[in-house]
């Protein structure tokens, strides 16, 4: 293992596409490995587990492939849990990650109050540094 291992938690194909180049550049600068994680769970009552799994596989591939193509050692892991923050934190600790990177969605404050604020929970309870990338952000880390 290299000195650094990033756990990059992504929630959607859109997030994977948006974060791909900044994560490639960050991993290269840190000479870090990347573990791309997605917690698969149905997003509404019309969606079943197989739909969530298919969306998760696409989400992971859209970020893992650019990392590998750039020469960054990258692995993908699909997690299944109703407790997203716990799944991400447990995985980061079990896989000896040195940082958690997450993209923020443009959810309204109301939706965060109703559904829970996953990034905030992870940031408050993690024993690792957490880098949050706002939905409207573009650029290099």
> How do the domains of the chain map onto residue ranges?
4-133
Residues 87-128: pLDDT tens digits? 999 999 999 999 999 987 655 444 544 456 888 899 999 999
pLDDT, tens only, 35-78: 999 998 766 666 667 788 888 899 999 999 999 999 999 999 99
CATH 3.40.50.300 assigned to domain 4-133? The reply is no
Annotate 54-97 with DSSP letters as a single string.
HHHHHHHHHHHHHHHHTT--EEEEEEE-S-HHHHHHHHHHHTT-
């Amino acid at each position: 293992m290299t000195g650094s291992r990033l756990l990059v938690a992504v929630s959607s194909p859109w997030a994977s596409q948006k974060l791909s180049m900044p994560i490639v550049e960050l991993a290269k600068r840190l000479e870090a490995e990347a573990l791309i994680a997605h917690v698969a769970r149905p997003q509404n009552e019309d969606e079943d587990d197989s739909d969530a799994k298919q969306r998760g596989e696409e989400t992971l591939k859209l970020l893992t492939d650019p990392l590998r193509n750039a020469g960054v050692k990258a692995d993908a892991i699909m997690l299944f849990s109703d407790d997203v923050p716990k799944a991400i934190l447990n995985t980061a600790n079990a896989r000896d990650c040195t940082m958690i990177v997450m993209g923020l969605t443009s959810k309204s404050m109301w939706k965060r109050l109703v559904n829970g604020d996953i990034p905030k929970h992870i940031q408050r309870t993690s024993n690792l540094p957490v880098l949050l990338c706002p939905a409207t952000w573009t650029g290099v880390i």
